[in-house]
Amino acid sequence: MHGPIDGTRRRALGALGAAALAPMLPVFAPAARAQPLPDRYTLRAAPARLSMLGATNPQTDLWVYNGRVPGPVLRVRQGERLRVDVVNDLPEATTVHWHGLRLPNAMDGVPHLTQPPIAAGGGRFTYEFACPDAGTFWYHPHLRGNVQVEMGLAGALIVEEPERLAVDRDVLWVLDDWRMQGDGQVSQDFGSMRDFMHDGRIGNTVTINGTLPDAFAVEAGERIRLRLLNVANARIFALRFEGHAPTVIAQDGMPCEPHATPGGRIVLGPGMRADVILDATGKPGERHRVIDDFFARQAYEVVTIAYDPRKRARARVAGPVPRLAANPVPEPDPGTAERHRIVFSGGMMGMMGGGGRGMMGGMPGMGAGTTGVWAINGHSSTETDHSHAPLLTLARGRSHVLELVNDTAWWHPIHLHGHSFRIVTRNGARDPRQPLVDTSLLPPRERAEIAFVADNPGDWMFHCHVLEHQASGMMATIRVA
Ligand code: C2O
Ligand code: CU
């Protein structure tokens, strides 16, 4: 591959198992400024056959950006403009959505709402926008996402802080979950009514950065900024770093008060991110497991943290966890906020009386989704419904509180485009940390209140990021005008 992408690839961080060894730093000196970043990227979406499952397994036919899975890490400095020329060499139309970015509506990548689909067979579209917030974001198609994201179209977008954080290494883990067949191919059972009605397309194969993870090599005493990004269609990860105590410094890209999580578990629904400081407090030669126990009875080891038996970065990890400067997100004023109630209903064990309109049939075999399985305030809509009448119209420039009510038996990561919001209460109790996020993971039958300033004009998608739920009715538009 030639062109601007080469610059990114050299800087790609965190390849698993790669001997990316930290320098022997006596203190956590901020890394020197990297080379200039490209001012323009190209993303070419196309089919590719890749050895995702390692040399001993068959190759996998995927749909990917720039020939690899996940797509290239795009990097831009905070406040600067990102320009991305997208070329669609897929057999079907696509778009690219910039998840978590507060960008102009026309660049949001939602088909029929903010742009026409990018046609198959060489269609092009250029996205160009400024990036006001530093942090860990990502990009993915917003057309038939349940198929296109599952087939491999996803990548990270890192907006760099003006000052590099004082860590030894900046590592990205793109976590994905696939439903693989024994022949090494992605199962093509898209549009299964079972997946739509339950917890989405849970797979059987978890990858980190597009490979089956084995060992994550560290040196004793290292301080690592680990950027965790869940691009799975449906799997919720709850990561426990045995023998370690990660500290969360950002959620969904937005800096937060550094904090430990209950039981050290980092819970990430689809679409969500966490930046953590992982201090390598173990000894040379030690091995520790990273466990995903979101489904307690199906807990499994995601990867092993493998300490170099000889090298040490320093005698011990020292000093307070570094903290990130806040992003320029306007603070909502709960006192003057307008209030809105949003009820999510439907799914298995909620089809009757849950507000859904009942089964509407659809064409499950087509994988395109179907309306009627899930509903938001009684309306079930999908991307094939191009009317996009807004669920709510919010007065621009004002604070708003949305009360999200999960009247279903399932978990839903509820995502709003174009804005970040604070989670102010959960089940009526004030959230002590009031995290600033773009996705709120709602447990079954629970409620949350989110607050934000509706400062970004346009029609914005508001949907569940379990892509099978989105494809079967759990999506809506919120207008800021
Ligand atoms: Cu990750 Cu509507 O998006
Ligand atoms: Cu959902």
Instruction: List, in sequence order, every residue forming a beta bridge with 441; answer none if it has no partner.
Output: 413
Res. 318 pLDDT band, cuts 50 70 90: confident
Report whether 408 contacts 469 (CB < 8 A): no
Residue 98 has pLDDT above 70, yes or no: yes
Summarised one tens digit per residue, pLDDT across range 18-58 is 222 233 333 444 444 556 788 899 999 999 999 999 988 99
Share of the chain above pLDDT 90, in %: 81
> Which ligand 1 atom is the nearest neighbour of the CA of 463?
2
Summarised one tens digit per residue, pLDDT across range 298-316 is 999 999 999 999 999 988 8
Q: Which residues contact 291 (CB under 8 A, 6 or more apart)?
A: 239, 240, 242, 299, 300, 301, 302
Average pLDDT rounded to a whole number, residues 191-215: 95
**Distance from residue 355's CA to the centre of ligand 2 (Å):** 15
Share of the chain above pLDDT 70, in %: 88
Q: Round the average pLDDT of the chain to a whole number and report it.
A: 89
Distance of CA 211 to the CA centre of its chain: 18
Greatest mean pLDDT among 5-9, 15-19, 184-188, 352-356 lies in 184-188
**Distance from residue 414's CA to the centre of ligand 1 (Å):** 9
Task: Give the pLDDT of residue 356.
Answer: 38
For residue 460, the ligand closest to its alpha carbon is 1
Q: What is the dihedral of CA 78, 163, 168, 437, to 10 degrees?
A: -50
Average pLDDT rounded to a whole number, residues 3-9: 28
Residue 363 has pLDDT above 50, yes or no: no
Residue 343 has pLDDT above 60, yes or no: yes
Average pLDDT rounded to a whole number, residues 321-336: 95
Ligand 1 contact via 110 beta carbon (within 6 Å): no
Strands of 223-230's sheet, edge to edge? 205-208, 169-178, 223-230, 273-279, 247-251, 254-259
Task: Give the pLDDT of residue 36.
Answer: 76
Residue 453 has pLDDT above 60, yes or no: yes
Task: Give the pLDDT of residue 368.
Answer: 57
Phi, psi of 6 (to 5 degrees): -55, -40
Ligand 1 contact via 144 beta carbon (within 6 Å): no
Helices marked H in 57-177 — which ranges?
145-148
- Name the token pair of 184: 């090494």
Task: Give the pLDDT of residue 316.
Answer: 82
Ligand 1 contact via 273 beta carbon (within 6 Å): no
Q: Which residue has the higher pLDDT, 5 or 288?
A: 288
**Distance from residue 316's CA to the centre of ligand 1 (Å):** 41
Q: Which residues contact 331 (CB under 8 A, 6 or more apart)?
A: 453
Average pLDDT rounded to a whole number, residues 152-157: 98
Ligand 1 contact via 240 beta carbon (within 6 Å): no
How many whole angstroms separate alpha carbon 215 and alpha carbon 54? Answer: 14
Task: Give the pLDDT of residue 101.
Answer: 98
Summarised one tens digit per residue, pLDDT across range 237-281 is 999 999 999 999 999 999 999 999 999 999 999 999 999 999 999
**Distance from residue 183's CA to the centre of ligand 1 (Å):** 30
Ligand 1 contact via 463 beta carbon (within 6 Å): yes
Predicted TM-score of the model (pTM): 0.91
Ligand 1 contact via 469 beta carbon (within 6 Å): no
Which of 87, 64, 67 has its CA nearest to residue 9?
67
Given CA atoms 453, 456, 460, 464 in this order, what sign does their dihedral have?
negative
Average pLDDT rounded to a whole number, residues 138-152: 98
H or E, element range at 392: strand 392-394
Q: Which residues contact 25 (CB under 8 A, 6 or more apart)?
A: 168, 313, 314
> Which ligand 1 atom is the nearest neighbour of the CA of 100?
1
Summarised one tens digit per residue, pLDDT across range 100-138 is 999 999 999 999 999 999 999 999 999 999 999 999 999
Task: Give the pLDDT of residue 370.
Answer: 76
Task: Give the pLDDT of residue 321.
Answer: 94
Res. 96 pLDDT band, cuts 50 70 90: very high
**Distance from residue 383's CA to the centre of ligand 1 (Å):** 12
Task: Give the pLDDT of residue 8.
Answer: 27
